[in-house]
Copies of this chain bind each other. A is one copy, B any other.
């Protein structure tokens, strides 16, 4: 493929831009390729695991993730608990603010503000979450004593009535959300306090390992879109591997492979799973996910839309 001089055209669409990036070097071509891998995985009916970290929900990709779930582009979600808390907060009407990476942290603390990069979350938002989650836990406990994280999150999603909520859309579209470290956040603290009062209340993370395993079969085509690293990425890869490996993989990250971290691991490894047919089925894009993911996914959505594929599998609800 030849390098082709990139040029602006008046009224340029995101799709046209990403199309043209296929002929631009470095991470541009990687991004265009990632978009194409997403198109391939869906057209080939691969079960698609989308993983992301909490900070991506806080920053405003929440609505986009919810949209992607609504359109059935993602079939299974894996994430960390902070994003779940923040998804709920926003459904409860809380707002986050965009500030500066170099804000005065002592001053923020005095104002009761928590900083996630350049995104600010007020203590009040956490309190609102707390007030809301406790009666929900009581109600769910009345139903059963032992919950897996994915079942718990589904029930919560059904309660929320918010088009832009990831949990709501996931529950509605029967897209399970896995959260292997569900106690690693404010939610964990509330689960703990609840358990103090109800000793037979149990979160069964072990059973959820089975649940994620059974989201796909060995023979089924599988695909992983991993945004950032952490256990979300690791958990999706692990569970597809135990079912024979994914056929398609897109990793988007700011980390590099040189440190040996999961965050920086590239899709090259995916080739070792034995299912990837060729180089064109995987793509790693280095860069901030708030920029790279919308670009790659929007081009894919435009193509799906043009071809009348949205929502995939037809509407489940309504």
Contacts and interface: CB of A to CB of B under 8 A. Distances in A.
Nearest to A276: B106
A228 interface: yes
Given A14-B17, A80-B231, A209-B183, A257 B3 contact: no
B254 A58 contact: no
State how many copies of this chain the complex holds: 4
A272 B25 contact: no
A244 interface: no
Given A109-B274, A192-B210, A192-B213, 8 more contacts: A11-B13, A13-B13, A54-B262, A55-B261, A117-B261, A181-B184, A182-B205, A183-B209
Interface stretch (A40-48, A153-161, A234-242): A234-242
A260 B60 contact: no
| 5 closest Cβ pairs, A-B complex | A5-B63, A117-B260, A25-B59, A109-B272, A27-B288
A288 B290 contact: no
B259 A117 contact: yes
A279 B98 CA distance: 14
Nearest to A295: B291
A267 to B, nearest CB: 10
